């Protein structure tokens, strides 16, 4: 799922192309994409885009008349900029947003249709799509600590809970925890003050670095390949590969469709965390350490 840096990159690419431009029409391919009824989607036709905003992991198009189109890409939704009047591709195409200088195509890989589009009126309607989490890059240390204290959860869950922090998901939480040298299963209530400071610094650094990198790329050329798996990442998606800090093989915890990656040496003091599926299979034979 595109996270804070990825969504900011899309916004950086969209601004010079659609700001102050009229949205001539929205061509829906999949009727399941539109999840709202009032105001009608046709109310957006012909209205000028006056603002672009990130709401968590959503992209919000602000149009004249205080009308907003709120797009959630979910896991597999992606955006592409093509020539005016371009046709959405095959089975992956969900919608086309037509502008004078080009067409924004929305696609979604796979058979499940999870991406969504809402038309809402005013700031009140837009606020209904805000899960309430604080913007991590707008927090100081005290504010960050307060957000962590909203509940006693594992660090992985706390970072990815949209009610705690806005825009952080599976990929960047792995990178943040590795940078901070903290286990993903450590409970927030057990963090020492210096660990909170380290986690805050890592959150700021990782998100700022990746946002700057991806936005710079998006300003040069449209982000054709938005992915959670990037070769420059330290641990996310790197199971079995050497940690860039200590060279220990990166490990993983799998739960449902989500995988958490971490370094045993850098983050857990040499202890292997139990993977639910494999540990059930191995039971008492589950190894405690890499050795």
Answer yes or no: CATH 2.60.220.10 is held by domain 136-285: no
Q: What is the pLDDT of residue 80?
A: 98
- Confidence category of residue 180, pLDDT binned at 50, 70, 90: very high
* pLDDT digit string, tens, across residues 267-282: 999 999 987 554 443 3
Q: What is the average pLDDT across 4-12? A: 98
- Dump the DSSP string for 18-76: HTT-B--EEEES-TTSB---SS-GGGGTTPBEEEEEEETTEEEEEETTTEEEEEE-TTT
- Confidence category of residue 237, pLDDT binned at 50, 70, 90: very high
Q: What is the pLDDT of residue 290?
A: 60
The predicted model scores a pTM of 0.93
Q: What is the pLDDT of residue 289?
A: 57
Length of the chain: 291
- Confidence category of residue 255, pLDDT binned at 50, 70, 90: confident
* pLDDT digit string, tens, across residues 120-154: 999 999 999 999 999 999 999 999 999 999 999 99
Helix or strand or coil: residue 223?
Answer: coil
Residues forming CATH 1.10.8.50 domain(s) in the chain? 136-285
Contact 74, 109 (CB under 8 A): no
Q: Let me know the angle formed at the C-alpha of 212 by 236 and 153, rounded to the nearest 5 degrees.
A: 45
Residues forming CATH 3.20.190.10 domain(s) in the chain? 4-127
**Closest to 82 measured CA to CA, from 107, 49, 104, 114:** 104
List, in sequence order, every residue forming a beta bridge with 260; answer none if it has no partner: 253
Give domain 4-127's CATH superfamily: MutM-like, N-terminal (3.20.190.10)
Please indicate whether residue 13 or residue 288 has the higher confidence score (pLDDT). Answer: 13
| CA–CA gap between residue 183 and residue 219 (Å, rounded) | 35
List, in sequence order, every residue forming a beta bridge with 258; answer none if it has no partner: 255
Q: What is the pLDDT of residue 144?
A: 98
Q: What is the pLDDT of residue 146?
A: 97
Place of tokens 């799998």: 254
Helical ranges in 221-284 per DSSP H? 264-267, 276-282
Q: What is the average pLDDT across 45-73? A: 98
């Amino acid at each position: 799922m595109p996270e804070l840096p990825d969504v900011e990159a899309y916004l950086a690419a969209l601004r010079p192309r659609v700001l102050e431009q009229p949205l001539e029409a929205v061509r829906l391919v999949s009727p399941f994409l539109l999840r709202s009824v009032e105001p009608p989607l046709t109310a957006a036709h012909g209205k000028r885009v006056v603002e672009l905003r990130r709401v968590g992991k959503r992209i919000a198009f602000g149009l004249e008349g205080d009308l907003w189109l709120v797009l959630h890409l979910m896991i597999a939704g992606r955006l592409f900029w093509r020539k005016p009047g371009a046709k959405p591709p095959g089975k992956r195409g969900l919608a086309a947003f037509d502008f004078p200088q080009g067409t924004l195509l929305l696609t979604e890989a796979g058979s499940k249709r999870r991406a969504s589009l809402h038309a809402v009126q005013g700031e009140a309607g837009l606020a209904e799509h805000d899960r309430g989490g604080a913007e991590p890059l707008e927090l100081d240390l005290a504010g960050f600590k307060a957000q962590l204290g909203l509940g006693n959860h594992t660090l992985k869950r706390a970072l990815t809970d949209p009610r705690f922090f806005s825009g952080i998901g599976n990929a960047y939480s792995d990178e943040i925890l590795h940078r901070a040298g903290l286990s993903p299963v450590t409970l927030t209530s057990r963090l020492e003050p210096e660990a909170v400071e380290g986690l805050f610094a890592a959150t700021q650094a990782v998100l700022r670095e990746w946002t700057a990198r991806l936005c710079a790329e998006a300003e040069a050329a449209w982000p054709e390949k938005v992915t959670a798996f990037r070769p420059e990442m330290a641990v996310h998606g790197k199971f079995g590969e050497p940690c860039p800090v200590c060279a220990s093989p990166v490990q993983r915890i799998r739960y449902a469709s989500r995988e958490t990656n971490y370094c045993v040496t850098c983050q857990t003091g040499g202890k292997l965390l139990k993977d639910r599926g494999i540990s059930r299979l191995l039971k008492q034979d589950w190894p405690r350490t890499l050795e």
